[in-house]
Amino acid sequence: MTGDAATLGELFRRGRPADPHAVLLEAPGDSPLTYGEADAVSARFAHALRHLGVRPGDRVAVHLEKSPSFLLVYLACLRAGAALLPVNPAATDAEVGHVVADARPALLLHDPARRPPTGPVARTLDAAGDGAFAELAREHDGSFEDVPRAADDLAAVLYTSGTTGTPKGAMLTHRNLASNAATLTKAWGFRADDVLLHALPVFHTHGLFVATHCALTSGSRMVFLPRFDVDAVLAALPRCTVFMGVPTYYTRLLASPALDAATTGRVRLCTCGSAPLLEGTHAAFRERTGHAILERYGMTETSMITSNPLDGPRRPGTVGLPLPGVEVRVTDDGGDAAPTGTVGGVEVRGPNVFDGYWGQPRRPPALFTVDGFLRTGDLGCVEDDGYLRLVGRSKDLIISGGLNVYPIEVEAVLDALPGVQESAVVGVPDADLGERVVAVVAAEPGAGVDDDELRQAARRRLAGYKVPKAVHRVESLPRNAMGKVQKAQLRATYGTPRAPER
């Protein structure tokens, strides 16, 4: 019974198994971590945070590889009343520097292999749970009186880029996250005897909140893999009941002949989201395993918005129905409700929806309607039976393997490179990643620009998944009468595989 807990702490306390020996997570090569141990270690971590000067309301930046310690730091932040600020472990120094300068965390926990940016107090913590922070924590007690929090207090800040290309921190409160956690746990029927196969990264809503919150709220167990690896997933699946993935996980699993109905014999639920799931993938997975993947839809600023039902038809090509307590509508360009079946902008309102970005005005009018709906930047239509079908995006965003790449951020880096006159970055269809990042570059007259050098230079400034997989050269970019680069034309030109040479 989850009720409507106002804070994550309260929600997790209610969900905690009575037996402290119940396992919270198993990570390869480690002995299982019980709920009781998680309680004790997160208490020590919370003392260490306080010792290092972290006060309620402060941000704690975490630039760590995925490991059980990461999750324990998150729990410690909640207990100490601080907000977690996860940073992609693949982020370059420049990307980490921007986040830290913007969010001004009271503390940065980083992998010993990484050099911390100047500014915040910094301590090391490695994937094995060692480092200066862990040493300090060991000096402290295994019990901690949790700092009381209110629904409107900040629980996490997640950086996400937008139309400006500069990452901004989405401020997520306890209300936002706890309401969504309780709703999902119920909607997806999580029980204490579930075993969730967790192969997602933990610096994003999907792996950090959707997955771990369902486990913590229901008092169930996670098999916690450091990353998605087909063989490791196939080896662990037979003892799991729930799997969560992005579409690339499913296409990669399907590419293995080892995936069959026996591998998923204990599984009761496979969910998918973060990017569009092709109907063909849905059908192929069902044919091979007997499971109809449950597709759901959400975003960093809102957590989950819609879901196909646990009981009831899971409609391929749709993202299901609005979750309980969440309102969804589709509007036309004038902001009026679009008739059923007509494509328009998807808007959402509910306790899950954030209020704004760190350091910026709350509820910016560009993002929110006057009656409080968030404009998602996704295009879709509501079908006769109320299911939402997404058909595209009005925001200039590429989703590659479930990771968001904002073209403007990549274009800014390419444009600043010597010899580049202008660039345009587009996403083209990719069988593995869903979309692949491709750059189209016009060089300055007379400049000798080498495509590999461009990619390498971009790689020094951007996390690897943002770096164009290919660079195409043009004399000049195609523009319409308004001077706007015609990206649809570029996608059409560079998205189709070249005809084989004769």
Q: Which residues bind ligand AMP (CB under 6 A)?
A: 160, 205, 273-276, 295, 297-300, 319, 376-378, 390, 393, 399, 404
Q: Return the range that interacts with ligand MCA (CB under 6 A); candidates 27-35, 180-188, 399-407, 487-495.
A: 399-407
Q: Between residue 211 and residue 230, which ones bind ligand MCA under the rule CB under 6 A?
A: 227-228
CB of 233 to ligand AMP, least distance (A): 20
Q: Does 380 bind ligand MCA (CB under 6 A)?
A: no
Stretch that binds ligand MCA, among 56-64, 187-195, 201-209, 373-381 (CB under 6 A): 201-209
What is the nearest approach in angstroms of ligand AMP to the Cβ of residue 357? 12
What b-and-e string marks burial along 137-176, b requiring 16 or more CB atoms within 10 Å of the CB? Answer: beebeeebebbebebebbbbbbbbbbeeeebbbbbbbbbb
Nearer to ligand AMP, 170 or 178 (CB): 170
- 247 interacts with ligand MCA by CB under 6 A: no
Say which amino acid occupies 109.
L
Residues 6+ apart with CB under 8 A from 435: 275, 398, 399, 400, 427, 428, 429
What are the residues whose beta carbons fall under 8 Å from the beta carbon of 26, sequence distance 6 or more?
32, 33, 221, 222, 223, 224
The least CB distance from residue 393 to ligand AMP, in Å, is 5
Determine if 248 is a binding residue for ligand MCA (CB under 6 A): yes
Sequence-ordered alpha helix ranges (H) in 361-450:
407-415
Q: How many binding residues for ligand MCA (CB under 6 A)?
A: 25
Q: How far is CA 281 from the centre of its chain?
A: 21
Amino acid at 12: F
Q: Is 350 in the site for ligand MCA (CB under 6 A)?
A: no
Which value, in Å, is the radius of gyration of the alpha carbons in the chain? 23
Three-class SS of residue 216? helix
Q: Report if residue 308 touches ligand MCA, rule: CB under 6 A.
A: no
Binding to ligand MCA by residue 314, rule CB under 6 A?
no
User: Of 105, 117, 401, 427, which lies in the binding site for ligand MCA, with binding defined by CB under 6 A?
Assistant: 401
Q: How far apart are CA 257 and CA 259, in angstroms?
A: 5
Would you count residue 202 as binding ligand MCA (CB under 6 A)? no
Which of these segments, 26-34, 215-223, 234-242, 458-466, binds ligand MCA (CB under 6 A)?
A: 458-466
| H or E element in which residue 327 lies | strand 327-331
Q: Which C-beta is closer to ligand MCA: that of 318 or that of 400?
A: 400
Spatial contact of 172 and 354, defined as CB atoms under 8 Å apart: yes
Q: Which stretch binds ligand MCA (CB under 6 A): 18-26, 197-205, 383-391, 474-482?
A: 197-205
- Could you tell me the smallest distance in angstroms from the CB atom of residue 396 to ligand AMP? 11
48 binds, among ligand AMP, ligand MCA, none (CB under 5 to 8 A by kind): none
Beta carbons of 120 and 87 less than 8 angstroms apart: no
Residue with smaller CB distance to ligand MCA, 107 or 390: 390
Task: Name the minimum Å distance from CB 477 to ligand AMP.
Answer: 25
What is the rounded distance in angstroms from the CA atom of residue 220 to the CA atom of residue 190?
A: 8
**In the chain, helix, strand, coil percent, each to 5?**
30, 25, 45
Closest to 216 measured CA to CA, from 247, 245, 250, 180: 180
Report in angstroms how near the CB of residue 392 gets to ligand AMP at its nearest. Answer: 9
Binding mask 267-286 for ligand MCA (x = CB under 6 A): ------xx------------
Q: Say if residues 269 and 294 touch (Cβ distance below 8 Å).
A: yes
- The option from ligand MCA, ligand AMP, none interacting with 465 (CB < 5 to 8 A, set by class) reads ligand MCA
CA 163 and chain centroid, separation: 18
Within 133-192, which residues bind ligand MCA (CB under 6 A)? Answer: none
**Of 143, 132, 129, 188, nearest to 42 (Cα)?**
143
Shortest distance (Å) from residue 235 CB to ligand MCA: 16
Which amino acid is located at 28 in the chain? P
Q: Which of 386, 364, 367, 383 is nearest to 375 (CA)?
A: 367
Binding site for ligand MCA (CB under 6 A): 90, 200-201, 204-207, 227-228, 246, 248, 273-274, 298-300, 400-403, 433, 459, 464-465, 467
